[in-house]
Amino acid sequence: MWEAVALSFGLAMDATAVSAARALGESARREIVILPLVFGGFQSGMSALGWLGGQSIVPYLHGWDRRVACALLSIIGLKMIVEAFRAEPEGLSPGTLMVYLGLGVATSIDAAAAGVTLPLLSVSPWLALVLIGGITAACSVVGHVAGRALGQRFGHRLGAVGGAVLIAIGIDLLIGGN
């Protein structure tokens, strides 16, 4: 059971950081609900794909997973940096369906590879999928609340830090980090 919980927390860290980064940029308050649902759903869904696809899907993801994640996170991060330095913005532009889908994919590609290992855990793969989605959603809420608190305390320009964090996560993924 503990392996599934540890795996869930490990997979949730990118989503948590992205939630915090979006909140630093004074994103819409509705994102405290939207992002955890998107991230939890994508982490569970991609893990399920990895589990169901088994070894046959891993070779296809292996060559592109880190590049796609890096590109998506970098584009969104650059947009956040530009918006942070515009003259007194009213807030981060509201997320669109494409932004949320891009963030969901970018933060969960590694979950597909991790899903291959689900049958090796000491719990049912179905329970592991529920843990992955639930823990990711909970961590995303915590990240969003923390990011919003920091953003309110230090101002809207802190959104540039959030953008830089997204770019750093993307670069870390590209060069082989977890």
Residue 134 belongs to what domain range? 2-174
pLDDT digits (tens, 9 = 90+) for 160-173: 776 787 688 778 76
The span from the CA of 19 to the CA of 28, in Å, is 12
> Residue 28: pLDDT above 60?
yes
pLDDT digits (tens, 9 = 90+) for 86-110: 655 454 556 788 889 988 998 888 7
The span from the CA of 145 to the CA of 128, in Å, is 26
Give the mean model confidence (pLDDT) for residues 13-36: 83
Select the more confidently predicted residue: 64 or 130. Answer: 130
pLDDT digits (tens, 9 = 90+) for 118-142: 877 778 989 999 999 999 999 999 9
**DSSP at 85:** T
Residue 63: CA count within 13 A, CB half-sphere: 3
Domain count for the chain, please give it: 1
Give the mean model confidence (pLDDT) for residues 55-69: 64
Grouping H, G, I as helix, E, B as strand and the rest as coil, residue 176 is coil
CA nearest neighbour of 26 among 138, 137, 155: 155
Contact 61, 112 (CB under 8 A): yes
